[in-house]
Structure 1
Amino acid sequence: QASVLDSTPRRSVNYKDAKLKTFTEKGLSNVSSLLLSEEHKLLIVGARDAIFALNIEDVSKTISQEAWPAPEANSSECEKKGKSRNEDCRNYIVGIHRVTENNLYVCGTHAFHPMCDYMTVDNGKIQLKRQPKFSKGKAPYDPKYTYTSIVVDGELYSATENNFLGSQPIFQRSLKDSSLRTENIGCWLKNPNFVYVDVVRESEDSPEGDEDKIYLFFSEVAIEYNFKSEVLISRVARVCKGDKGGQRILQRKWSSFVKAGLECNFPKSNYPFNVIQDVFLLRAPKWRDNIFYATFTSQWSLQNNSAVCTFTMAAIQKVFNEGNFKTFDIIHHKMMESIKPNPVPRPGTCINNNLTKSGYKTSLDLPDQTLLFLQTHPLLNDVVMPKDNQPVLVKQATIYTQIVVHRVTATDQKQYNVIFLGTDKGYLHKALSITGKMFIVEEVQIFPSEEPVKNLQISPTRGQLYISSPSQVVQVPVAVCSQHKTCWDCVLARDPYCAWDTMSRRCLNIASKDSKGWIQNVENGDASECP
């Protein structure tokens, strides 16, 4: 069950009292990307014209940095095309990807001429190879375009705009020889805002011999409604990792790209949260138990309300593997459920044991009718519904821009999924569901002035969050248990990270030591055991 419409934080910490480690320096602006490099004990930060390697244990300490401005020729060309020299015609480092342990792949806008380069990490020192290549589709032209990317097994999957005008959205795979991209037609992508991309290793323990899948989350202009004004809708799209495109139809294009709507609202409510803002994949030991957490806002909200919904793998798979497709009805001039039988093999299906037995060893062997259907019918009729058919959390007058989730085992061995949410005003909310009711345990002001949270990363092993606004990076512990001075305060906080240690008589993070004498009661906040 979701909580009441407005969860008020139970505890609020202002910026001064939070005493956070902060990285900021003169000229630092437009922090666009963060990469946690646990093995090198670094946080790599992409900003405007520069990349920084910070100490993962204390981000206020810079270990090394690389300047990477756009060349003068690019800046002049960009300015000639009517862009602002000081704002648009710079190099915004939007993507930092791990290719191997010591090798990163970094991409920037490069004054409306996107470029990517390799960068090595050695003993804390970052160094660009200084052999950048034009990288259309791997990074946006304009820093204002939305962008999401991931490297999976040496391949870069990136979603952004593919031309100077920003009129050609693209989701592509590149780096190795087998580059693929989306078809450039409106039914595939229509004015999308790309949010998140990730891999689910569905080949593991698959009796059908299934492939790994890449999932892309975005919002776009809905093609299924015939309204006068543009209605946005949130989507999840899926492609097969082993996709090689089609032989005659969809050559060098995705032969498996299918998409479905995502719903996040209360049943019978006329108030949909239709614009997805961010996604986090909470991985479980078995991929079938993975859960996608997503934050949404509403296109029509005057108060800027936000909701958090969760989507299970089972719900997503059911729609992708069993649902019908939508088709354009010429008579009624609108999208309707296709009543024709689907071609065989089913469009969007990855190569598995059954298809291999039928002679389809790769996507290049798929019949034209399957690919022709997919080319014009990528949209599924059914929408993916959230768990319990409603949000887990709704917050008024707040825009949640970023989300991460951490699964914590309390002293009673019960597991809690703790949700950390960054807001557009520079606050961090920490929420968890206890006996079916969602609490915002704490709100922390993380920046001295109002700035949006642009990036939020978690290091579960270190118990630290790394958060950036356009002008700074801060490090926030997942819990500051020492702020609870008495056993009663400690237990009543109902924070799964914190428990009262009867030996030292202090409130401590349960990860900090093994103790036989913890007092904690997350479920009921019962402090009667306190001395």
Structure 2
Amino acid sequence: MSVGSIAFINGMIDALYCFPGVNRFPSEYTSTPQYFRKMALHGDHLYVGAMDLLIKFSLVNISNATARVEQNVTEIHSFIKTNLIENVEKCLKRNRHAPDFDCRNHIRGIYIDGEDVYLCGTGSYQPQDFFLNRRDLTLNDSALEKMSKNSGLAKCPFDPHQDSTLIYVREGNPDDIPTTYSATSLDDTVESSLIYRPMLQSDSKSYQLLRTIHLEKKWLNVPHFIASFDIEDYVYFFFREISVEHPYEDEVTYSRVARVCKNDRGGDTALKNSWTTFLKARINCSLPGDNPLYFNFIQDVVYSKNDSAFYAVFTMTMGNTRSSAVCRMNLSDIEQFFRVEHFQEQLDVTKLWQKVPQNKVPTPRPGECNPDSEHRLSSVIQQFIRSRPLMYESIQAKPLYDFTDATFVRLAVQRVQNPEQTNLYRVFYLADDKGFIQKVSYWNEGAVAHSRLLQVWSPFSAPHLVRQMIVHNNELFASTDYEVIQLDVKRCMHYTKCTSCSVDPHCKWNKNIAVEHCQTYPEGSVQNVEAASSLATCSAADACQRPIETHEVQIEGFSVKMSCNSHCDPTTSVQWFHNNELISIDADKYILGTDNSLVVMETTNTDAGSYECKNESVLLQKHFIVMADCGDGEEAIECVWKNEFLKWCKEFNDYQTRMNEWQDLKDNCTKDVDEKHCYIQN
């Protein structure tokens, strides 16, 4: 998000602040990064992993780091450096571009296990995991003993630049042996990426290590791992990767969810030392239509146990426009999807991927947890899952909120329901790559969903990518490489208008005093989140500001997205006009976004002209679209090529649609069907 966009939002909703009331660590900003990239909450404390450091904060105020904590941090630092000095020397000989960053121990995994804190770090290209005493962060004899038996290889990244995810699972594993599940890399190449569980050892039994198949692109193909979750019988992994099933030669990134059974014991033939329950599927977070706008780059995921749902942030780039979206996936829908949908296969490298007919799927169904896990799966099932771990259909993620001109990278979700409210609200905190955080409310009125941008914060000392973010008891904890912050999310005092205040689920407008102002739920105050379409509850002094005009040049055949940011707060349903004619929202041509933005699909010369977004009779925003003339010269060649490429894409999509229709017909055919309607290859 650009500074210009933020200034625009500030004018719209009175929501950007040079931020007061923030607790910080370090208390004074420094230009030297410490790389605060991992957070974990436990009880009354926040644990933050950084470069060579683990810091334990009180949730009361993270600015008050005690001398004892600092002393223990130094002790841990010295211990790690002493034990890894050989690794550091080897690392420095590799002539890294940034040895002060590469050849250090970056904490990438934190888990609180009883009285111990489990840590995993990069260890100067020799990953290592170990345990500390939770109360005082000291290395006791128990921790040293555990450390001597463990290695961090395949648990946390080899290279500190790599994406990874790690969780510690106590129950559901073979013989309920506690262990880690990780998605990372074995060395500093993406080709060595894997999803991994180490060998398990009990008093009487041992269980083989399990991993995804090495260099098998059907399993993993240049993945960027995002998050992992321990839920009931499965561990779920979210990541994005280069698609293997995409029909075009260009590399296309898809977002994925994969899962494995916790009681998986591995195979003995085609899947020795490999998962026998690994399945993955594409996640489709898109604005619907015949030509949907896909948000293909998953950035962050959180799981709400109360909602039994995943909330995730996705991004996309269309021309020079960046857009982001929050989408929801219900756990029950994902479980049902893996239980009944088609598998996908490629019979030959020269052939397109196609769905596997259900009558060719062996029993028991691959990917399901086997209650009789003592017995290994048959070689037929093992061979099936080895070559067909990918599902044919996509898991549909419901878009809840989308925003233009921003790249969201972190998400936190809060449920809010105050005694006087009838609806349950979700409040999203969305951090972008420039250090801004949006506060967004989401709720349902019957079957109709609503979302509203409430505030935009700039809480960091300098604009940096947000690395971690957690919301807990109305406190938001977030970090960049340079600092950790803590702030109260109920920032009602910053609203200066009744209409802005009354639509925030945390706030109410107090009208019973001489000077009206916004605060949290006093007697006689005004709050009207759902019915905010009427200005009756607030003063008429909350007036609209002058709308913004934009001018854009568009190439024929490409889609264009235009924002409608209301300057009149609150916003009701809006209408769009093209050259003063009301637009009828048609999924084939027009898509209305959750933020009231308008998408015009596959533009032609007739789509040129003015576009106006109005709330009743109030003009909110105006766009002018001019269609580009290819003309002459080098730029004309690119322009013409893009037009021809779009025509080819459309023809190919038509072909693929007919192919899928034929495949569906073929799968449903039997030899008893009339050959006029069904062709069976004997």
Task: Give CA-to-partner distance per residue, 1:73-103, whole Å, 9 cap, x none.
Answer: 1111012223242221111111111222x21
Q: TM-score, normalised by structure 1?
A: 0.85
Distance in 2, matches of 1:114 and 1:15, equals 41
Whether 1:18 and 2:20 are equivalent positions in the alignment is yes
Q: Which residue of 1 aligns with 2:211?
A: 181
Distance in 2, matches of 1:62 and 1:412, equals 39
Q: Which residue of 2 aligns with 1:522?
A: 529
Whether 1:53 and 2:56 are equivalent positions in the alignment is yes
Distance in 2, matches of 1:96 and 1:104, equals 7
Q: Which residue of 2 aligns with 1:88?
A: 102
Change (3 A) 1:58 1:458: same
Kindly indicate whether the alpha-carbon contact (under 8 Å) linking 1:245 and 1:363 is maintained by their aligned counterparts in 2.
no
Distance in 2, matches of 1:33 and 1:302, equals 32
Kindly indicate whether the alpha-carbon contact (under 8 Å) linking 2:428 and 2:439 is maintained by their aligned counterparts in 1.
yes
Task: State the AA in 2 paired with 1:232.
Answer: T
Change (3 A) 1:301 1:250: farther
Task: State the AA in 2 paired with 1:162.
Answer: L
Change (3 A) 1:386 1:363: farther
Distance in 2, matches of 1:327 and 1:528, equals 59
Q: Which residue of 1 aligns with 2:322?
A: 304
Of 383, 396, 420, the residue aligned with 2:394 is: 383
Shift of 1:278: 0.6
Distance in 1, matches of 2:15 and 2:525, equals 25
Segments of structure 2 that go 5 or more residues without pairing to the other structure are 1-5, 171-177, 202-206, 540-682
Task: Give CA-to-partner distance per residue, 1:198-241, whole Å, 9 cap, x none.
Answer: 1222xxxxxxxxxx221111001101023222111111001112
Distance in 2, matches of 1:8 and 1:152, equals 43
Whether 1:220 and 2:251 are equivalent positions in the alignment is no
Change (3 A) 1:157 1:118: same
What does 1:46-445 align with in structure 2 at a 5 Å threshold? 46-63=49-66, 64-65=69-70, 66=73, 67-68=76-77, 69-70=80-81, 71-83=84-96, 84-100=98-114, 102-122=115-135, 125-128=136-139, 129=143, 131=147, 133-153=150-170, 154-174=178-198, 176-177=200-201, 178=207, 179-184=209-214, 185-201=216-232, 212-268=233-289, 269=291, 271-284=293-306, 289-298=307-316, 302-330=320-348, 332-339=350-357, 341-352=360-371, 361-362=372-373, 364-387=375-398, 391-410=399-418, 411-434=420-443, 435=445, 436-445=449-458
Distance in 2, matches of 1:158 and 1:399, equals 26
Comparing 516-525 with 289-298, greater Cα deviation is found at: 516-525
Shift of 1:15: 5.2
Change (3 A) 1:530 1:432: closer
Kindly indicate whether the alpha-carbon contact (under 8 Å) linking 1:490 and 1:499 is maintained by their aligned counterparts in 2.
no
Comparing 449-458 with 54-63, greater Cα deviation is found at: 54-63
Distance in 1, matches of 2:167 and 2:386, equals 25
Kindly indicate whether the alpha-carbon contact (under 8 Å) linking 2:14 and 2:496 is maintained by their aligned counterparts in 1.
no
Q: Which residue of 2 aligns with 1:357?
A: none
Distance in 2, matches of 1:402 and 1:351, equals 36
SS at match of 1:159: strand
Whether 1:483 and 2:494 are equivalent positions in the alignment is yes
Task: State the AA in 2 paired with 1:96.
Answer: I
Change (3 A) 1:517 1:351: farther
Kindly indicate whether the alpha-carbon contact (under 8 Å) linking 1:457 and 1:467 is maintained by their aligned counterparts in 2.
yes
Change (3 A) 1:363 1:239: farther
Shift of 1:318: 2.8
Shift of 1:270: 5.1
Structure having the larger proportion of residues in helix: 2
Task: State the AA in 2 paired with 1:57.
Answer: V
Change (3 A) 1:58 1:449: same
What is the RMSD computed on CA atoms of the aligned residues? 2.6
SS at match of 2:274: coil
Change (3 A) 1:299 1:485: closer
What does 1:454-493 align with in structure 2 at a 5 Å threshold? 454-459=467-472, 462-484=473-495, 488=498, 491-492=501-502
Shift of 1:429: 0.5
Shift of 1:141: 0.8
Distance in 2, matches of 1:323 and 1:82, equals 49
Distance in 1, matches of 2:531 and 2:373, equals 55
SS at match of 2:65: strand
Shift of 1:433: 2.5
Shift of 1:378: 0.3
Task: Give CA-to-partner distance per residue, 1:275-315, whole Å, 9 cap, x none.
Answer: 1111111222xxxx512111111265532221111112233
Q: Which residue of 1 aligns with 2:549?
A: none
SS at match of 2:90: helix
Task: State the AA in 2 paired with 1:324.
Answer: H
Task: State the AA in 1 paired with 2:63.
Answer: S
Task: State the AA in 1 paired with 2:164.
Answer: Y
Change (3 A) 1:331 1:244: closer
SS at match of 2:272: coil
Distance in 2, matches of 1:321 and 1:346, equals 8
Task: State the AA in 1 paired with 2:304.
Answer: L
Shift of 1:161: 0.8
Change (3 A) 1:370 1:503: farther
Kindly indicate whether the alpha-carbon contact (under 8 Å) linking 2:509 and 2:517 is maintained by their aligned counterparts in 1.
yes
SS at match of 1:372: helix
Kindly indicate whether the alpha-carbon contact (under 8 Å) linking 1:246 and 1:364 is maintained by their aligned counterparts in 2.
no
Shift of 1:480: 1.4
Task: State the AA in 2 paired with 1:341.
Answer: K
Distance in 1, matches of 2:95 and 2:387, equals 36
Kindly indicate whether the alpha-carbon contact (under 8 Å) linking 2:163 and 2:224 is maintained by their aligned counterparts in 1.
yes
SS at match of 2:213: coil
Change (3 A) 1:454 1:309: same
Task: State the AA in 2 paired with 1:168.
Answer: S
Task: Give CA-to-partner distance per residue, 1:29-64, whole Å, 9 cap, x none.
Answer: 111101112x2x221111111111122111111131
SS at match of 2:384: helix
Kindly indicate whether the alpha-carbon contact (under 8 Å) linking 2:317 and 2:323 is maintained by their aligned counterparts in 1.
no
Distance in 2, matches of 1:77 and 1:300, equals 44
Task: Give CA-to-partner distance per residue, 1:430-461, whole Å, 9 cap, x none.
Answer: 112355332111100021221011101111xx
Kindly indicate whether the alpha-carbon contact (under 8 Å) linking 1:14 and 1:444 is maintained by their aligned counterparts in 2.
yes
Task: State the AA in 1 paired with 2:52.
Answer: D
Distance in 1, matches of 2:509 and 2:530, equals 15
Task: State the AA in 1 paired with 2:457.
Answer: V
Task: State the AA in 2 paired with 1:408.
Answer: V
